[in-house]
Chains A and B, each alone.
Chain A
Amino acid sequence: QVQLQESGPGLVKPSETLSLTCTVSGGSLSSYYWTWIRQPPGKGLEWIGCIYYSGTTDYNPSLKSRVTISVDTSKNQFSLELSSVTAADTAVYYCARQRGNIGWFDPWGQGTLVTVSS
């Protein structure tokens, strides 16, 4: 079965760029959309954006100016970059498989906490 695992720094300084990678095991990236979602501590879920295995992307307009999602099919990975971070970007970041270009999320990675602080 497909499993996802997020990796990357747990601490990022304000104004810098947050970079995370999601490694997919047990299956190929092909024919699916792959997504990033975040959850500030004690709060709800926010969809960040997604990428098709071919490289087509869609982003949440609220974050679009700061977000880049990319894919590396040779490594079975996709990545998130969020620039100019502030404390408001502190959250658990999840990667997930998205069913369809406007779909639901299953399965999810376990999530990784990223704290923005100097």
Chain B
Amino acid sequence: EIVLTQSPATLSLSAGERATLSCRASQSVSSNLVWYQQKFGQAPRLLMYEASNRATGIPARFSGSGSGTDFTLTISSLEPEDFAVYYCQQRTNWPLTFGGGTKIEIK
């Protein structure tokens, strides 16, 4: 099973600041890495697929990068609606697995 480790667990930032989230895989997943956003009390929402492709309707302030074992999700300038938990997911091997999440909280 591929283990995904997200860091940091919590990010305390202000609106307008840049957020950088990390996801590290226990073995190479090539570019088969996906990001989701989950707001409190809601289902996760697809943000990025194949590491760097924005899903439909996702603003350009969200960007993804990386390949192999190290991946980054960047939010260039935080909007109030971006404070949420972010999960990465790999789609290289069964079983499909998620990282433990990074919470972006208001500083």
Contacts and interface: CB of A to CB of B under 8 A. Distances in A.
Q: Which 5 A-B pairs rank lowest in CB-CB distance, beginning with the nearest? A: A106-B46, A108-B43, A104-B34, A45-B98, A47-B96
Contact of A44 (B1, B42, B99): B99
Interface string A95-118: 000011011111111110000000
A58 interface: yes
A105 B45 CA distance: 9
Contact of B94 (A45, A102, A104, A107): A102
Interface residues of B, number: 23
Given A104-B34, A104-B49, A62 B95 contact: yes
Nearest to B49: A104
B66 interface: no
Contact of A47 (B36, B95, B99): B95
B54 interface: no
Contacts of B91: 100, 102-104
Contacts of A104: 34, 46, 49, 89, 91
A44 B87 contact: yes
Contacts of A44: 87, 98-101
Interface of A: 44-47, 58, 60-62, 94, 99-100, 102-111
Nearest to A50: B96
B102 to A, nearest CB: 11
B106 interface: no
Nearest to A96: B43
B55 interface: yes
Contact of A60 (B36, B49, B95, B100): B95
Nearest to A63: B95
Q: Which of B36, B87, B93, B95 has the most CB of A within 10 A?
A: B95
B55 A111 contact: no
B92 interface: yes
Contacts of B44: 45, 94, 105, 108
